[in-house]
Structure 1
Amino acid sequence: MAPDIDARPVRRGHTHALVGLGGILGSAVLLALYARGGHALVLGFIVLVPWLLALDATRSVGGTLLSAWLMSVAFAVAVFTWFGAAIGAYTGIGAPLATLALYLLAPLLQPQLLVFALVRHLVGRRHGALLRALAGASAWVACEALWPKLLGDTLGQGLAPSPVLRQFADLGGAAGITFVLILVAEAVATAIARRRRGLPALAQPVLLAAALVVGMAGYGWVRLSTLHAMPAPQAEPLRVAMVQASITDYEALREEIGAYGVVRHVLDTHYALSQSAIRDHGADVLLWSETVYPTTFGHPRSEAGAELDREILGFVEASGAALVFGTYDLDAAGEYNAAAFLEPGTGLVGTYRKTHPFPFTEHVPAWMDGPRLRRWLPWTGSWQPGDGARVMPLRTADGREVNVVPLICLDDVHPGLAIDGARLGAQAIIGLSNDSWFSGHPDGTRLHLQVAVFRSIETRLPQLRVTTNGLSAIIDDTGEVLAHTGIGDQAVLTGMIAAHDPPPTLMVAWGDWVGRAGALFLLGLAALAVVRALMGRAAPARRAADADGQPVAVVLLAPQWRAATAALRVIAGLGLLWLAVGMLRHGFHVHSLSQLWWFGGVVVVPAVAAWAIQWVGAAQARVENGKLVLDQRHQRIEVPVAGIRAVEPWRLPLPGPGLQLQLATGQRWRHGIALARPRALLNALSRAGTSFARGRTGAAATMALAELRAAEPKRWFDHAWLKFLVFPLPLALVAFRLHQYIAFGGPFGEYHTHGLQAYLTGLLIWWASWSLGMMLFAAALRVGIEALTLPMLPAPPAQAAAWRVALEWLGRLAYFIGVPAWLVLGILPG
């Protein structure tokens, strides 16, 4: 019986599939344990290891993406099954259907897994394990920054139970911890893969993993010691009572006792608990949860609503305690989920509007909203997003005050709001949340609290967090949860905050920077890939130009004309440098017409004059029938090769690289020959029997540099008239139009105010400013390209030429793409 020749490949394929599925299952089990918290936090360093080993065994892009898709589903099953049940209960579609939808949408809810796997696979094809690990970790955190998670979850938040390790978050937030966890997992996976190669092969990844963990722990220990050693605030603290009334199902209550009855019941319960807090705990400030007052405070919809508003104000006045509570706000744009700040004797101090309403349940983008969506999703909300962080005062009757940044529910999963609040002078964070839809799913309430903890670590601001039915909590500046209520408890939790300046953190200074840094790192890798591709495609210095009979573009310059051309170019360069110095001193724009005249007279006129001289002397050179033939527009010059003793490069490459012919008579030929590609002409003369005299030291390097400059020929968009006259015009028009709006209130404001001449003069000045700026930028790019070319001179010609080609294209990208992108990014924030 003939053997089955396909059996072995089939078995191998089955083995790879089993390894892949086993790795996914292993990581899913570890993730489920890691998500439970407690001592399981140590698993955070290895949760990805089984999956990483499975990815290493996958050779194709398709297989890698399939593994990532399966891992995203396994992630959802292991960590977020409760979320599907919670959504099902909230929307009324039931837990099974909602959970199934959660699993189907897993790649959208955990997209970092697909991005991580793909980038890791592509980088691993060309680079080693270290760069692959850095690229994968960067892709993970960059994706989470650019595609924010619905619940703000990331791997690093699992280290919240560790007082030491979580302190690392004030450097890079939870994303920074995630980055380290991925690198440690990569190191462990590499060590496992090398286990049979001996101790030296294991040492590097093991030591790297140990160094990362020890470094994180060491920083945390030092940071904790520093924080504990800081002096206590001198100001007398405020006693803030968080009222957790545990009234959750407003809809059921509304059906039972009516809308007014619900509000009445909620307020009466909070009044009673608040009076207890003032009486028994000496509370100075009362904190009620999100949407506790389910109507628009200050904008009553009826006389009954106006009466309730007056009642709340009267309660604050009578109790003598400030009150912060969740309500709704209203303006012409719509309704907002908000927090109102009330003070005795003042009334309404201000309102903060929730910046990040929950998608669909609270807010739907205008482009998606409509009657059909409302019919399909009747529970969809219509609140508008607020306009960012706001710092509000908490003041007592005796004048004590603490500035706080309020965060409502989903606001605390975004680091930016707390960071902006710290920058605006906040001394504490107060959180208001309604986690009642997690009532039957404590994993959700624990996750939300865990995410909120990192806002205090990143900013070093203490935090008081009140929820409708748990978990209300007191969090200090190290992220320690000092006290919290239970889920479903009706309770009052009192914490103290005092006016003080928090210690500085890198997160407050740089913002949520880790994801952006990861994206920049990946862009750098992409640029490196482009450079390598261009280097690989670049051919050795153009063989066709070296062949016999092929003409070479040259410029014939008598000594006096060469000196004049060089002088004109130097004058133009010095004039441009002088203008650059002036613009550095007084701003990057033209201030007067005198600068334009200077630019025209000292830069443009000399440059044009130098170009005209070279245009007149332009010629085509070739070696033909034993003669050096030079064809100009008005004459043909022939120099017998036998009469040329040697060819010597110009000692000073001005106005550019060039050659000087040494005749057999001992004299120099009457013309110098300027040319961009000396080697082509030299090779032709050499084949005809002429020798090359190297001249003084450095001449050969000058010739080699000229060859590298010519490795990438000039394209149509490289010409000066287009780069410095045409291209700056649309940029100048955009900037000029913006200036007209700012300075004169409209696109033709200056024309209507001062007339056509002033308007056109202003436009000319803006155009000249951009032309000058682009010239300076091009000069800076040219200096950088030449500096990066010099180290390549000793390299083989083909490699050096390829490097030069890549540098030229990167310079073009920076000039033609980078500058408009910079302009757009500068305009968009405004």
Structure 2
Amino acid sequence: MPPALTDTRDAGAERPARTRPGRRLPWRTLLAAAGGGAMLLAFPGYSLLPLAVLGPAALALAVHGQRARSGAWLGLVCGLAFFVPLLSWTGIYVGAFPWLALAVSQALFLCALGAATAAVSRLRLWPLWTAALWVADEALRGRVPFGGFPWGRLGLSQTDGPYLALAAYGGVPLVSFAVALTGTLLAAAVLALARARRSAGAHPRGPAVRAAAAALAAALAVPLLAAVAWLPLPGPSLTEGGPTRTVAVIQGDVPEAGLEFNARRRAVLDNHVQRTLELADAVAAGDQRQPDLVVWPENSSDIDPYTNADAARQISRAAAAIGAPVLVGAVVQGPGEYLSNTGIVWDPESGPGQTYVKRHPVPLAEYVPARDFFRFFSDKVDLVRRDFTKGTEVGVLDMGGARVGDVICFEVVYDSLVADTVQAGAGMLVVQTNNATFGYTDESEQQLAASRLRAVEFGRTVVVAATSGISAVVAPDGSLARRSELFTPAVFVEDVAQRDFTTLAERLDAVPEWTLTVLGAAAVLAVAVPALRARRGGA
């Protein structure tokens, strides 16, 4: 990165936060809010993907040259403008308080990011350090508290276009970094142009104009390099790269949307049984191919088939009719007082076999930590009557001649949970999910976006099975081979290659994320340590 991109100030430039904060902060606040709105528009629901770069650009411009406390305020504004509408689906049936509490908790991470970005904005190469700080912030947000909530990361907005290719080289963190770097370089160009405009005869405009041109060229180079990165990657074919297995996806639908969808648990199970029987009839008539395996979604049997003989008979009936093992999403009693969100391989002859228990149940939705504390804020926590346990085993299941890597619902947004599944030998990925509790919102589209990133990241076909939609078959290049609509029964049958291709992202695992996190943290320390020393020396 040219040195000209690293310092957009000149001898006559003002430092607004120090001299006239009252006059300068309002427009900065509006700019930060606009940045949050631009990021929102990049995500599914709007899918204006190029706007994602404007979020980091706007925040970088807003906080540039400011004190950390001003940066914290501006980061909070950006975060609220982004997360409050992005996560509105969380309150669709439980009210505003849980939704706003989650949105504010996530916005606080951008509050910290704003402070850190302000601190490093005076360093050389600040666009680079700022982009690394976006990755560091997302890494922290994806881990704390209660295992984190890595929803809404910059990289998850890029379901198409050049940046998506970078998932194969460094996962979602590298995609986020590229988007953020493009934005911060654009901010550097704007600041350099502003400096050139302010320049008088004593301060020639030439260096500032050259700095702006260099920053703009670097900003354009990032997506161009990402576009070149597509060249060695797999294409949209589902059948290239390994032996194929015919996979059927069943979306049985639910009687009604909302929290009470499973009040009629038998109806949900019957819907999935019936769709499977209909597929068996189509196979017998020669209208469909015989599947090697069938995938049902999460919560397709909220009646425990281990303890309820009738539920077991219905699942066995469906498996026998289709003549293939069925991956059933079931709620299982135990261990002890807990429940288990479980994927069960149900063989047409021998019945239940291998299982995968969800390893990251959702806090305050599938289990309630510190129940008495959270009940003080909302009695909605008591809708979770029994806590779900955490599984301990990686979800690689052998069924129908395929090595299926199973992740359940929100687990798809957690990098490590998907990575270790592929590393354990999965030839394809399956996401079992239930989105009925979120109604007709953008949640399903946002979750599907994560599956598209995973397909590119690991060079695998990803099969998404949802109770009420969106179910999909995602090709290794992230494109959608098949997809369903919300609250509509659907059945897909596709031939899927069982791949053992290893991407660079799989080999590097979390190295890109940690490397960028360390770079960002080191930049903050480079500012904070001298400042603390100076303060102590002046005390």
Using the size of structure 2 for normalisation, the TM-score is 0.83
> CA offsets, 1:422-441, max 9 Å, x none?
11111001111111122221
1:123 deviation in Å? 2.5
**For 1:282 and 1:111, how far apart are their aligned partners in 2?**
51
Listed as ranges, the matches of 1:11-160 within 5 Å are 12-36=20-44, 40-56=48-64, 59-80=66-87, 82-83=88-89, 86-89=90-93, 91=94, 94=95, 97-98=96-97, 102-103=99-100, 105-125=102-122, 127=124, 129-130=126-127, 132-134=129-131, 136-147=133-144, 150=149, 152-160=151-159
Q: Are 2:129 and 2:519, in contact at CA under 8 Å, matched by a contact in 1?
A: no
Q: From the superposition, tell whether residues 206 and 43 of structure 1 become closer, same or farther in structure 2 (CA, over 3 Å).
A: same
Task: State percent identity of aligned pairs.
Answer: 19
Q: Are 1:389 and 1:418, in contact at CA under 8 Å, matched by a contact in 2?
A: no
**For 1:130 and 1:314, how far apart are their aligned partners in 2?**
60
Number of the residue aligned with 1:207: 217
Number of the residue aligned with 1:500: 499
1:54 deviation in Å? 1.6
Query: Could you say what the CA RMSD is over the residues aligned between the two structures, in angstroms?
Result: 3.5
**For 1:266 and 1:273, how far apart are their aligned partners in 2?**
11
Task: Show structure 2 runs of 5+ residues with no match.
Answer: 1-15, 197-204
Listed as ranges, the matches of 1:737-752 within 5 Å are none
Structure 2 residue 226 is matched with structure 1 residue 216: yes
1:49 deviation in Å? 2.2
Q: From the superposition, tell whether residues 241 and 142 of structure 1 become closer, same or farther in structure 2 (CA, over 3 Å).
A: closer
**For 1:520 and 1:368, how far apart are their aligned partners in 2?**
35
**For 2:22 and 2:529, how far apart are their aligned partners in 1?**
39
**For 1:31 and 1:477, how far apart are their aligned partners in 2?**
26
Give the stretch that moved more between structures: 372-381 or 43-52. 372-381
**For 2:424 and 2:322, how far apart are their aligned partners in 1?**
30
Structure 2 residue 169 is matched with structure 1 residue 171: yes
Q: From the superposition, tell whether residues 191 and 267 of structure 1 become closer, same or farther in structure 2 (CA, over 3 Å).
A: closer
Structure 2 residue 300 is matched with structure 1 residue 269: no
Q: Are 2:135 and 2:177, in contact at CA under 8 Å, matched by a contact in 1?
A: yes
Q: Answer with 1 or 2: which has the greater Rg.
A: 1
Q: From the superposition, tell whether residues 245 and 228 of structure 1 become closer, same or farther in structure 2 (CA, over 3 Å).
A: closer
Secondary structure at the residue paired with 1:214?
Answer: helix
1:248 deviation in Å? 4.5
Give the stretch that moved more between structures: 425-434 or 70-79. 70-79
Secondary structure at the residue paired with 1:384?
Answer: coil
**For 1:436 and 1:474, how far apart are their aligned partners in 2?**
19
- One-letter code aligned to 1:269: Q
> CA offsets, 1:772-823, max 9 Å, x none?
xxxxxxxxxxxxxxxxxxxxxxxxxxxxxxxxxxxxxxxxxxxxxxxxxxxx
Number of the residue aligned with 1:455: 454
Number of the residue aligned with 1:760: none
**For 2:123 and 2:416, how far apart are their aligned partners in 1?**
36
Structure 2 residue 368 is matched with structure 1 residue 364: yes
Higher relative contact order (CA closer than 8 Å, sequence separation 6+): 2
**For 1:264 and 1:434, how far apart are their aligned partners in 2?**
13
Using the size of structure 1 for normalisation, the TM-score is 0.55
Listed as ranges, the matches of 1:367-406 within 5 Å are 367-368=370-371, 377-380=381-384, 381-395=386-400, 401-406=401-406
Q: Are 1:435 and 1:467, in contact at CA under 8 Å, matched by a contact in 2?
A: yes
Secondary structure at the residue paired with 1:356?
Answer: coil
Structure 2 residue 434 is matched with structure 1 residue 434: yes
Pairs aligned (count): 501
Secondary structure at the residue paired with 2:113?
Answer: helix
Number of the residue aligned with 1:286: 294
Q: Are 2:250 and 2:490, in contact at CA under 8 Å, matched by a contact in 1?
A: yes
1:22 deviation in Å? 2.4
1:56 deviation in Å? 1.6
Secondary structure at the residue paired with 1:329?
Answer: strand
**For 2:39 and 2:528, how far apart are their aligned partners in 1?**
37
> CA offsets, 1:378-413, max 9 Å, x none?
212511121142211121xxxxx1101111111111
1:61 deviation in Å? 2.4
Q: From the superposition, tell whether residues 379 and 49 of structure 1 become closer, same or farther in structure 2 (CA, over 3 Å).
A: same
Number of the residue aligned with 1:348: 352
Structure 2 residue 201 is matched with structure 1 residue 194: no
**For 1:461 and 1:264, how far apart are their aligned partners in 2?**
29
Structure 2 residue 426 is matched with structure 1 residue 416: no
Q: From the superposition, tell whether residues 404 and 14 of structure 1 become closer, same or farther in structure 2 (CA, over 3 Å).
A: same
**For 1:321 and 1:158, how far apart are their aligned partners in 2?**
36
Q: From the superposition, tell whether residues 11 and 61 of structure 1 become closer, same or farther in structure 2 (CA, over 3 Å).
A: closer
> Which structure features the higher share of helix residues?
1
**For 1:24 and 1:9, how far apart are their aligned partners in 2?**
15
Q: Are 1:73 and 1:103, in contact at CA under 8 Å, matched by a contact in 2?
A: no
1:273 deviation in Å? 3.6
Q: Are 1:109 and 1:149, in contact at CA under 8 Å, matched by a contact in 2?
A: no
